[in-house]
Amino acid sequence: MAESTSRPWKLKFEMRDRPYDLMLCIALALILVTLVALFPHNIVRQVLGLIFVLFLPGYAATAALFPENDQIDTIERVALSFGLSIAIVPLIGLGLNFTPWGIRLDPILASVSAFIIGVSLVAWFRRTRLPTDERFAIVVDLEVDFQGMPMVDKILTVGIVVMLVASVVVLAWAITTPRVGERFTQLAILGPGGMATDYPRNLTVGQDATVLLSVKSFEHRTLSYTIAIVLTNVTDNSTTVTQWSTNWSQNHALSPHQASAQNFTLQHLEYYNQTFSFNVTSTGTWKLQFLLYLEGQPITQNAYREVHLWLGVTT
């Protein structure tokens, strides 16, 4: 009776003639730019973003510095790729800090992408000038013979493969699943120029003034709000209803005062910005209050968020 035999499992390929690794670096950089521009909340963007920041700049730089195959070994090349990336990206950010664009997503994405593509082209040029047998090559040569392998080695091999796959899955889940942090809503009033300066604190009777009302949601859900505005004379505790637009309900009850109110809805990380113009018709010290209420919350003096501005009005 003939013995059953099985061939060993083999995996072998070599990339030497064409710089496919550098083509992949350029392609990944362009794909990430496209994802950020068209699909800003895509999970793939988050995974590519880590590779883009932590590996690609250093890999391209290493390929440009060491185009020959025997200059450094594979472990050194991978270590340099991570190390140089950690050094290059902060330096790019430092340079952007001294430019009009500043350290923001779009300038950083454009600058790092330009670095990866430019240095990859330099590495491509240097590598193609070498003889084929001297160029850096990615060689994979694996052979596993399960038939002749002891049972203990088979179990260990399968266990290692399962652990590696599970580690990759868990890492990908941890990266792509953001933790829900503190839930809150940000409320602020800004000056006419959109900055926390130049507030209209000293006015004359009937003088027009403007502030910018800004609300941003960090609630991790869609939520409806009510904003109420009260202008109170602290001398005699009298109020006047502010004028806004036809979208605002006037003479809204806010015991013991009267107020203007408006409802709106925000998604997570969405802004609500409105310019508020007003004037005061009597002299005295006035308190301009912006009161923010959550959906279903009774409109009382105990608002969810409150900001105010003190006004001195003279003749």
What span, in angstroms and rounded, lies between the C-alpha atoms of 2 and 89? Answer: 63
Which of 114, 143, 172 is a domain's end point? 143
pLDDT number for residue 188: 92
Residue 239 has pLDDT above 70, yes or no: no
Q: For strand 238-240 and strand 305-314, is the pairing parallel, antiparallel, or unpaired?
A: unpaired
Specify whether the CB–CB gap between 125 and 110 falls below 8 A.
no
Three-state DSSP state, 293: strand
Sheet of 184-190: strand order equals 184-190, 209-218, 271-278
Please write the tens of the pLDDT for every residue from 120-156: 999 999 998 888 888 888 776 666 666 666 777 778 7
Confidence of residue 266 (pLDDT cuts 50, 70, 90): very high
Average pLDDT over residues 54-81: 89
Domain contains 169: no
Range of the domain at 40: 9-143
Instruction: Classify residue 170: in a domain, yes or no.
Output: no
Residue 168 forms part of a structural domain: no
Q: Cα separation of 40 and 219, whole Å?
A: 19
pLDDT for 257 equals 56
Residues 212 and 283 in one domain: yes
| Helix, strand, coil % in the chain, rounded to nearest 5 | 35, 30, 30
Comparing CA positions, the residue from 282, 291, 285 lying closest to residue 201 is: 285
Worst-scoring range by mean pLDDT, 8-12, 81-85, 195-199, 271-275? 8-12
User: So what's the pLDDT on residue 27?
Assistant: 94
In this structure, are 290 and 225 located in the same domain? yes
What distance in Å separates the CA atoms of residue 127 and residue 121, rounded to the nearest whole number?
10
Percent of the chain with pLDDT over 70: 80
Q: Tell me if 163 is assigned to some domain.
A: no
Q: Other C-beta atoms within 10 Å of 136: how many?
A: 24
Residues 231, 297, single domain; the answer is: yes
Same domain, 262 and 136: no
- Residue 122: its pLDDT value, please? 95
Pair 188, 308 in one domain: yes
For the chain, the domain total comes to 2
If asked whether residues 94 and 216 sit together in one domain, one would say no
Res 9 pLDDT > 80: no
Taking Cα atoms as reference points, which of 270, 287, 257 lies closest to residue 221?
270
The reported pLDDT for the residue numbered 246 is 42
Measured CA to CA, the distance from residue 83 to residue 62 in angstroms comes to: 10
Q: Does residue 36 form part of some domain?
A: yes
d(CA 220, CA 139): 46
pLDDT band at 166 (very low <50, low <70, confident <90, very high): confident
Residues 105 and 207 in one domain: no
Are 13 and 89 in the same domain? yes
Are residues 213 and 136 part of one domain? no
pTM: 0.51
Report d(CA 254, CA 299) in Å as an integer. 7
The answer as to whether 167 is a domain residue is no
Going by the DSSP 8-state scheme, the letter that residue 288 receives in this structure is E
| Same domain (yes/no): 198, 299 | yes
The domain that contains 231 carries what CATH number?
A: 2.60.40.10
Choose one of 120, 143, 166: the last residue of a domain: 143
What is the identity of the amino acid at 308? H
What local confidence, expressed as pLDDT, does residue 50 receive? 84
pLDDT band at 244 (very low <50, low <70, confident <90, very high): very low
Residue 242 lies in a domain: yes
Q: State whether 138 and 240 are in the same domain.
A: no
- pLDDT over 70 at 172, yes or no: no
Judge whether 46 and 35 are in contact, CB under 8 Å.
no
* The residue type at 302: N
Please say if the pLDDT value at position 247 is more than 60: no
| Together in a domain, 236 and 117 | no
**In a domain? residue 304:** yes
Among residues 143, 175, 197, the one where a domain terminates is: 143
Cα 191 to the chain's mean position, in Å? 27
